Amino acid sequence: MNTLVLWDIDLTLIDARGLGHDWYRTALRATAGLDLVHVPSFPGRTERAITRELLTAHDLEPTEELVSRLHAALIDVATRERELLPARGHALPGAAAALTALARRPDVVQSLVTGNLVEIARFKLAAFGLDEHLDFEIGGYGSVSEHRPELVLEAVRLATAKHDREFRPVVIGDTPHDVDAALRHGAVAIGVATGRSSAAELRDSGAHVVLDDLSDTARLLAAVVPRG
């Protein structure tokens, strides 16, 4: 069976810490004329969940219309500032080599399960040359749901429909949220301890494999597509 690799972005493939806070600050001011006071937790959460919490914390009802307006403002600021991305972050060690090595395998398709909106996902990865081997059309993105496991389900559904075949899904991410999203749907969970969660925390959350980072390409390949 072919393998569908679903990558997280932030603190798995790239490090651009602080960027989300800045973009939300600008977007909230543009959408509601308010200063950002309450900053939700970002790691492992979806844009929809973050947005709803942020709006509620600022005494705004998180209607679909307001959520959509805030997301549009986020995309707008990301579009304006995407040329600044290379100076605001960096690709994590081994990320480019891992994507390239998996792309060489005819039995592997690569996409994303990320809390980011699809437009922002494209900007972030393109800024560091990491977009070439990913199929953005079949990803699970933060606009889909507040609940990350539903993003995995959406990505698998889209990949199955596009390729007319079943896949063995593998989720790679840096938080217990990524691991939980994988396990909820019977996917292989690979934790990468390049974020705020330790290797022990990722193991305790149920990850099948935990890597310190992506620098050992051979070990990553063995975890994604084991022999035998």
> What's the pLDDT tens digit per position in 96-119?
999 999 999 999 999 999 999 999
CA distance 11 to 178: 12
Return the number of other C-beta atoms located less than 10 Å from residue 84's C-beta.
Answer: 11
Q: Which fold has domain 2-15+90-224?
A: Rossmann fold (3.40.50)
pLDDT in tens, 128-159: 999 999 999 999 999 999 999 999 999 999 99
This prediction has a pTM of: 0.94
Q: Please name every residue paired with 175 in a beta bridge, in sequence order, or none if there are none.
A: none
State residue 43's pLDDT score.
80
pLDDT in tens, 32-61: 999 999 888 888 889 999 999 999 999 999
93 backbone φψ class: left, alpha, beta (φ>0; ψ -120 to 50) = beta
Kindly list the domain boundaries of the chain, sorted by start residue.
Answer: 2-15+90-224, 19-85
| Cα–Cα–Cα angle for 53, 60, 178, rounded to 5 degrees | 15
CA distance 211 to 199: 7
Judge whether residue 228 has pLDDT over 70: no
Rounded to 5 degrees, φ, ψ at 204 are -65, -25
Q: How many CA atoms does the CB half-sphere of 166 hold within 13 Å?
A: 3
